[in-house]
Structure 1
Amino acid sequence: MRMGLAIDASCDLPQAFLRQHNIAVMPIAVKLDGTVFKDDRDQEEIERFLYMKLAGTHAAETEPCSVEDVQRLFLDKLVLEHDCVFCLTITATRSPIHEHVLKASFAILKNYRQVRDRAGVPGPFLMRVVDTRNVFAGEGPAVFEAARLIQAGEAPPAIRERLGVVANHTYAYMLPRDLHHLRNRTKKKGDRSVSLFSAVVGTALDIKPLLRCFRGETGPVGKVRGFEHGAETLFDYAARRVRAGLMVPVVCVSYGGDLSELAKLPGYDGLRRACEETGATLLEAPMSITGMVNVGEGAVTLGFASEEHEPDF
């Protein structure tokens, strides 16, 4: 059986990994200041966005791929290239993408047969939609595990069950730079994770929150003085979790800017060493345009899957 993967553009994984596993990307349109960006994890488009210095624009609008867009992607391409596709999405609590893909799946599974018949492709087609229950780099561990299981020749039911377990045990952490930007964007979405008081006081005192997304719920779990100290705190914590043992041998990290800046942050060498010593893969990716619009340029997100625990920053 030919099995494939599809993700939405908010999932922060490197282009090399996407190409290696032939992972399809469902794009997100980002509109701001009269300019439209096609957020599909293309490096040139990300660089164009950064060059124009638009990440701090509060009025940006994001349009996730529509039901019709998902149908076209599958019926024009994926149902011909694969016999089963796992479609992994950003958590349904933060975006309508998961709902759009679910709605599209009904039409896809109803109409795929005639498409495959016309192309001379025999047999049925399966589509499985998985809510990663996470955001940005936090979507990565489930995708990494799906790719590993497909390569290992696992059957679709076993893969689907395993991905549900991974999604329920994946932790994503985010360290923002610009609290005012983050507060304005979350307020626009009806999210009160960062209050006006916290944004004002935090900016004045250079206090940064450490935010966590776990099982679809996002909120602060710690605070640090200064961005660089926050990065060191986050990377040291992640290194400890790596050494304690991961459910999936990968740590995904994304940065809202030039990726060469990520390695210069305090504590990052320690995380890299922990991954090397334990055999875990460290996947580094630029943050999606959608992510930068929502959390601000220069932010860091980090995701891994492990047994349930409480943060100890």
Structure 2
Amino acid sequence: MRIGIVVDSACDVPSDFIGQEEITILPVTVQIGNAVLADMRNEEATLNFLTGDTAAQAYNAETTPYTVQQVHDLFLSKLVLDYDYVFCICTTRSRSGIFDNAQQASFTILNDYKPVRAAAGNNTPFSLRVIDSQNVFAAVGVLAIEAARLRAAGEGAPKIRARLENLALFTQGYMVPPDLIYLRNRIKKRGDKSVSFFSAALGSALDIKPILHCNRGDTGPVAKVKGFNTAAEKLFDFAGSRVRAGLMTPTMSLSFGGELASMRALPGYERLRETCAEHNVEVFESVMSLSGMVNVGQGGLVVGFAAEPAKFE
């Protein structure tokens, strides 16, 4: 059975991994003023897009996920021909409309695929499963990496499906946003009132950085730390402690809203890398997606892994 993997572009995985595993991207289009870019996980294009006046107005960005019709057309024109079963792994539906669009498209895809495959001389069944990762950014990448690992191991679609759906419940995403004023302006633009102006202004005045946690679609603060570098170090050290306690996959996923050299220079980064190496955990690093950067702010740090819940300390 030929198994395909599809992710939306807010899933943070390295570009070489996408190419090697032949992962298909559902792009999110970002518009800031007159500047428009469909995010296809091109790291250079992302970094070049967010410069000058465009970067200064990023909090006003409009983001548009693939529509139901676009998802349908992509599958019928390519994926139903290339594969027999496709896993479509999406950013949590609580933060993005892409899961609902893909889920709705799946019904018409399964109704319409037979003539397309038959015309190519293939009368065997086609199926797909849309997976709600229940997480964001680098944490979504944990599921994509596991899907590719299981496929390479020769596992069948039913086992991969069960594994991914269970793993989504235990995937932990942690984020340090660089600028609370930016984050407050951005979520206000999106209609989210979870960060008040007073809290944002106070945090910025005192250089307080929250560490946010996402699991099962819910996001909230687990710590408040003075200074971005200190918060990053605390997050890296916590991630290292979870590696030592034992992860559910041999994977640590990191993404950063800028050049990766800046992330690698943060305190605690090297300790986390050494801990992962000692425990045979592979580290995947990527530049944050364009939609991620406009929602979180340039310079944001995200760490994702799969493990039992644990108190952040």
Q: Name the TM-score class by shorter chain.
A: over 0.9
Q: How does 1:258-277 map to 2 (within 5 A)?
A: 258-277=259-278
Q: Which residue of 1 is the match for residue 10 of structure 2?
A: 10
Q: Which residue of 2 is the match for residue 29 of structure 1?
A: 29
Q: How does 1:236-247 map to 2 (within 5 A)?
A: 236-247=237-248
Distance (Å, rounded) in 2 between the aligned partners of 1:56 and 1:277: 42
Report the Cα offset of residue 192 of structure 1.
3.2
Q: Which moved more, 1:289-298 or 1:150-159?
A: 150-159
Report the Cα offset of residue 56 of structure 1.
4.2
Q: How does 1:42-191 map to 2 (within 5 A)?
A: 42-52=42-52, 54-57=54-57, 58-191=59-192
Distance (Å, rounded) in 2 between the aligned partners of 1:153 and 1:55: 44
2:270 counterpart SS class: helix
Report the Cα offset of residue 47 of structure 1.
2.5
Distance (Å, rounded) in 1 between the aligned partners of 2:235 and 2:75: 38
Q: Which residue of 1 is the match for residue 219 of structure 2?
A: 218
Report the Cα offset of residue 127 of structure 1.
0.5
Give CA deviations for 1:269-299 in whole Å, capped at 9, x if unaligned.
0110011000001000000000010010000
Q: Which residue of 1 is the match for residue 298 of structure 2?
A: 297
Report the Cα offset of residue 49 of structure 1.
1.4
Question: Does the alignment pair 1:39 with 2:77?
Answer: no
Distance (Å, rounded) in 2 between the aligned partners of 1:35 and 1:260: 27
Distance (Å, rounded) in 2 between the aligned partners of 1:188 and 1:33: 14
Question: Does the alignment pair 1:288 with 2:289?
Answer: yes
Report the Cα offset of residue 52 of structure 1.
4.2
Distance (Å, rounded) in 1 between the aligned partners of 2:194 and 2:18: 32
Alignment check: 8 A CA contact 1:10 1:136 kept: yes
1:310 counterpart SS class: coil
Structure 1: segments with no counterpart, 5+ residues = none
Distance (Å, rounded) in 1 between the aligned partners of 2:152 and 2:48: 34
Count of aligned pairs: 312
1:262 counterpart SS class: helix
Give CA deviations for 1:5-47 in whole Å, capped at 9, x if unaligned.
0000000000111111111000011001211011110123213
Report the Cα offset of residue 53 of structure 1.
5.8
Distance (Å, rounded) in 2 between the aligned partners of 1:146 and 1:286: 21
Distance (Å, rounded) in 1 between the aligned partners of 2:267 and 2:53: 25
Matched AA of 1:300 = L
2:277 counterpart SS class: helix
What TM-score does the superposition give when structure 2 sets the normalisation length? 0.97
Q: Which moved more, 1:52-61 or 1:246-255?
A: 52-61
Report the Cα offset of residue 194 of structure 1.
2.3
Alignment check: 8 A CA contact 1:50 1:257 kept: no
Give CA deviations for 1:227-283 in whole Å, capped at 9, x if unaligned.
111111110111111111100110111000111111101100011001100000100
Alignment check: 8 A CA contact 1:132 1:167 kept: yes
Give CA deviations for 1:107-141 in whole Å, capped at 9, x if unaligned.
11111111111112231111011000000011011
Distance (Å, rounded) in 1 between the aligned partners of 2:173 and 2:56: 22
Structure 2: segments with no counterpart, 5+ residues = none
Distance (Å, rounded) in 2 between the aligned partners of 1:302 and 1:263: 13
Distance (Å, rounded) in 1 between the aligned partners of 2:6 and 2:235: 29
Matched AA of 2:75 = F
Q: In 2 relative to 1, CA 56–251 (structure 1 residues): closer, same or farther, beyond 3 Å?
A: farther
State the identity %.
49
Q: Which residue of 2 is the match for residue 229 of structure 1?
A: 230
Alignment check: 8 A CA contact 2:60 2:189 kept: no
Distance (Å, rounded) in 2 between the aligned partners of 1:281 and 1:266: 20
Q: In 2 relative to 1, CA 288–14 (structure 1 residues): closer, same or farther, beyond 3 Å?
A: same
